[in-house]
Every structure is written in C-alpha cells, then in structure tokens.
Amino acid sequence: MKKIVDDDRLIYKCCNLYYMKNKTQVEICNTLGLSRATVSRMLALGREQGIVKIEVINPISYDYGELEQKLEQRFGLKEAIIVESEPLDTKEEQMDMLSEAAFDYLSHILKNDDYVGVTMGRTLYHIAHVDKTYNKGNKLLFVPLYGGISQKRTEKRDVQSNRIAVEFAEKFGGDYVQFLSPGIFSSKEVKDIFLQEETVNYIYEYFSKLRVVVMGIGIPEAGGTALVAEGYLTENELKNFVEMGAVGDASLYFYNIEGNTKPFDSFNQRVAGISQEQLKKIDIRIGVAGGIEKSKSVVGAVRSKNINVLITDSECARQMLKEV
C-alpha cells in the first residue's frame, strides 16, 4: 500500500502551499488534515526530488560568485572581488571598473580611527578620482608605504606615494602623513644610515598601526610598472629582472611566479619603506589589478602573501586559475 508521504500529488500540494502561498506548516496541517511530522517530511522530499529548487543569489556581482570562491580557495585569499571585463574593453574602461570596485570595497570595510597604507601608481590615482562620494565621516589616517621623492611624473600626474596619501585623504575625508624620503636608494647601506634620522624614521610608528593597505600590482615591462616612468629603475635593470624570472612588483618589491622576492634583493633591499615582514602582519592587504596580461603578476603577488584581498576582473581571474 502506498504511504501518504510517497504521494507525489500531496508532496507538490504541500510544497506549493508552503513556498508559493507562504502558508505555515501548522496551516498546511489544518488544510490537508496531515500531522506536523508528515508535512515536514513532505517538504524535505520536495527538495530531495527536485520538486522544489532553491537558488541563493549574491546581489553583488553574483555572476562571478563561484569564480571568486575558486580564487579564494585556490590561493588562500580572505576575499576576492571580480568585476566584468570584455576583450574589447579599453584600458581606461578596465581601470574605471576596477577603481570603482576598490572604492566600494574600501567604503564598506573602513572603520573609524583606521590607519590605511597606500602605494604609488596609476591604479591608486584612479581610485582616488572615481565619481563617487564617501560620506561616512570616519576618522582616517592615510600613510605612504614607502618614500616618494622623485624628479619625474607619470602622464603629467603625480602618482608617487606621498601624493596618493594626500589624494586618498581628500577623497575619504581623512588626514595623512608624509614619508619625506627617496623611494629607492643607491645602496642598502646609504638607506639604513638615512633612515636612522628622527626626522624620517617616525614613519615606522605609523606602519605598526596600519589595519588596511591598498596596492597596485605592476608587471615588468614598458608601461606595466610606474617604477621606470618615475625614475626608480632603468629599462636595462627591468630587463635583467625579467631574465631572472620577475613577474611583477607590489609595494616596490619584485617577486617571481612563486612569490619569492629573494632573487631581487639587490633592488628590494634598497627600498625605503615598510618591510615585507611588517606588511604581512597587516589585517587587510588589498591588491588591485586586472587584465589577462597581469595574471602571472597577480599570481606571484598572492603567493608572496603581500596581499590577501584581491580586486580583479573576470579575464585576469580565469587566467590566474590556468596558471596554477
């Protein structure tokens, strides 16, 4: 004899009343003359048999929810945010979408009294100039992660770290400090002596208070990193780094596809800025980069643990998963 809970017609009717008519289980019991246990069992069978299908939609970039999860799991990221990208998008369009996503993420996670570290570059310049307003009124302090004195400018814009700190403070309504030092020294010894001066080493106290940092990610080719344009590195030096396996730079530190910075110590140790040990202790380390051409650079940056939150586009994200 067929059990009542195996009656497909009743299962459908029970599910329809519960999910479509918004009836409670008690109301269904009274309507159909069934026990509470029978109604509960029928609702479960409705899901198991595919009569009821439940879909959970992420209201923000839901199309890439699965892709974001894959990146987070594959690379151990705290969070991945992916924006739409198309092969025909211009560089400017790509930058606009990434910058808006970065601005939105910062607007969401910044807290009162936060100390926020920033790097140099076009990406952060664009974040500070998105056509959006931050009006939460939080007390924020923006800190350049390394020195920013150079005689050159990129595209007639000042994209050095000190200026970026100023522009972020203006955008988010906070304050800023300056790191009045060259970004790169001629030798580690000269740098170490210079940074003993009290007029500049105060910056390390601010480094210890950082909760959030925001970084662009460069690639070692002409136009791919601001380091050459800003006079920190010659084209020949960059070419040598590529031959040694460099795939990118973040926070002025070069690394290879495995995220190893050691092969480039001849340059990295001359950087006047936050150490990688200090950087990795910061709670939220945001890297912003997109484009299929930056996939290896982003993979290396993630593996180096210099970033734990990635804001990228769909093309770069998919290529990253192919790289590993």
41/59: higher pLDDT: 41
CB 85 within 8 A of CB 313: yes
In angstroms, the CA 21 to CA 62 distance is: 27
What tens digit of pLDDT does each residue of 90-114 get?
Answer: 888 889 999 999 999 999 999 999 9
The pLDDT score that the predictor gives to residue 289 is 95
Under CATH, which number does the domain 4-48 receive? 1.10.10.60
Q: DSSP string of 297-318? A: HHHHHHHTTS-SEEEEEHHHHH
The pLDDT score that the predictor gives to residue 45 is 92
Query: What single letter denotes the amino acid at residue 173?
Result: G
The pLDDT score that the predictor gives to residue 275 is 93
Sorting pLDDT into bands at 50, 70 and 90, what band is 61? very low
In angstroms, the CA 268 to CA 250 distance is: 11
The pLDDT score that the predictor gives to residue 151 is 54
The pLDDT score that the predictor gives to residue 1 is 43
Residue 156 structure tokens: 């007639």
What tens digit of pLDDT does each residue of 131-162 get?
Answer: 998 988 889 999 999 997 555 555 567 788 99
What φ, ψ does residue 29 adopt, rounded to 5°? Answer: -55, -45
- Per-residue pLDDT, averaged over 15-32, amounts to 92
Domain at 62-323, CATH class:
alpha beta
In angstroms, the CA 113 to CA 115 distance is: 7
Q: Over 80: is that where the pLDDT of 293 sits?
A: yes
Nearest 5°: CA angle at 269, between 263 and 274?
Answer: 115
The pLDDT score that the predictor gives to residue 149 is 59
Q: Which of 23-27, 233-237, 279-283 has the lowest mean pLDDT?
A: 233-237
In angstroms, the CA 249 to CA 78 distance is: 21
Helix (H, G, I), strand (E, B) or coil at 59: coil
Helix (H, G, I), strand (E, B) or coil at 72: helix
The pLDDT score that the predictor gives to residue 323 is 80
Q: What is the mean pLDDT of the chain?
A: 89
Q: Over 70: is that where the pLDDT of 63 sits?
A: no
What tens digit of pLDDT does each residue of 203-259 get?
Answer: 999 999 999 999 999 888 756 676 777 677 788 888 899 999 999 999 889 999 999
What tens digit of pLDDT does each residue of 250-266 get?
Answer: 988 999 999 999 999 99
Q: Which of 51-65, 79-93, 117-131, 223-237 has the lowest mean pLDDT?
A: 51-65
CA 44 to chain centre: 40
Parallel, antiparallel or unpaired: strands 246-250 and 140-144: unpaired
Sorting pLDDT into bands at 50, 70 and 90, what band is 278? very high
Domains of the chain, residue spans = 4-48, 62-323
